Amino acid sequence: MIKIENVRKSFGGKEVLKNISMTVPTGTVTVILGPSGSGKTTFLRTLNFLGRADSGTITFNDNSVDLHNASPKEIIQVRRSTAMVFQMYNLFSNMTALGNVMEGLVTIRKKKKREARDIAMKCLYEVGMETYSDYYPVQLSGGQQQRVGIARALAMNPQIILFDEPTSALDPELVGEVLAVIRKIARELKVTMIIVTHEIAFAKEIADQVVFMEGGNVIEKGTAEDVLIHPHELRTQQFLTRYL
Ligand code: ADP
């Protein structure tokens, strides 16, 4: 289980994460919802040190790391345990789909080329992209690029994948295929995930836990049924009426 406690972060005196805590049991999906500007992306970024929290801890199976004062060794350890899927895929344009998925395996995990290729092909298969392994990003649709981005995260075999609005940069007709892939790896591979998304119907279907954030606070959290169907807080209710 992954425990995140008391995460705080300010930018220039403005507190954007006020005291965020959540527990993500292994093999489960947590969806974070909330209006734009509520701190969702900032929160995800602090979890793998893409941004530095002012305070907070992340604990993987009893091993706690201070999100503010971690040693370089601890930062490497946390980055090894987490993988991030970004809004804009961020694939290397000069590498094929296969090359993109192999890259981290070879440079960070120090795998031999042949082993890296085998793992990468398996991950491309998991996202339904194995027949596109030789394609360059520019030859792929946004949805296909994002599926390669997901394969790249899977290849690192992290303890948790953090998805930062994985479909918000896509044309509407491409959203479904990416959500289907996320659903599949959650269900079949039991990958532990935190997903920031505005796709409420998807959240209802996939989330073991829903966290509603606003203004740097967790307003409400619980099962999808609790938060999305019977929300207690007025702010959650107002948000859901705007999006449904
Ligand atoms: P969300 O993902 O919920 O839309 P963000 O985490 O992107 O929210 O942003 C939360 C708040 O922090 C916003 O007010 C945003 O303007 C501010 N913010 C985010 N990143 C920075 C930064 N690098 N410098 C200053 N302010 C930032």
Cα distance between residue 143 and residue 135, in whole Å: 14
Ligand 1 nearest-atom number relative to CA 12: 25
Alpha-carbon distance values, 20 to 3, 67, 153 (Å): 11, 12, 25
Cα distance between residue 150 and residue 127, in whole Å: 7
Ligand 1 nearest-atom number relative to CA 39: 6
Residue 16 binned pLDDT confidence (cut-offs 50, 70, 90): very high
Best of 7, 8, 9, 11 to mutate for ligand 1, by most ligand atoms within 8 A of CB?
11
Strand order of the sheet with strand 217-222?
82-85, 160-164, 193-196, 29-33, 209-214, 217-222
Residue 244's pLDDT is what?
64
Ligand 1 nearest-atom number relative to CA 43: 6
Measuring from atom 27 of ligand 1, which residue has the nearest CA? 11
What is the pTM assigned to this prediction? Answer: 0.95
Alpha-carbon distance values, 244 to 22, 169, 201 (Å): 25, 20, 9
Pocket flag, ligand 1, residue 39 (CB < 6 Å): yes
- What average pLDDT score do residues 38-45 get? 97
Best of 41, 42, 211, 235 to mutate for ligand 1, by most ligand atoms within 8 A of CB?
42
For residue 243, pLDDT beyond 80 = no
CA of 59 to the centre of ligand 1 (A): 24
To the nearest 10°, the Cα dihedral for 1, 65, 166, 39? 110
pLDDT digits (tens, 9 = 90+) for 142-194: 999 999 999 999 999 999 999 999 999 999 999 999 999 999 999 999 999 99
Name the average pLDDT for the chain: 95
Cα distance between residue 13 and residue 11, in whole Å: 6
Question: Which residues partner with 66 through β-bridges?
Answer: 57
- What average pLDDT score do residues 207-218 get? 97
Ligand 1 nearest-atom number relative to CA 42: 6
CA of 31 to the centre of ligand 1 (A): 19
Residue 88 binned pLDDT confidence (cut-offs 50, 70, 90): confident
Pocket flag, ligand 1, residue 75 (CB < 6 Å): no
To the nearest 10°, the Cα dihedral for 123, 126, 131, 136? -50
Cα distance between residue 153 and residue 44, in whole Å: 15
Residue 79 binned pLDDT confidence (cut-offs 50, 70, 90): very high
Cα distance between residue 223 and residue 217, in whole Å: 18
CA of 163 to the centre of ligand 1 (A): 16
pLDDT digits (tens, 9 = 90+) for 119-143: 999 999 999 999 999 999 999 999 9
Measuring from atom 21 of ligand 1, which residue has the nearest CA? 11
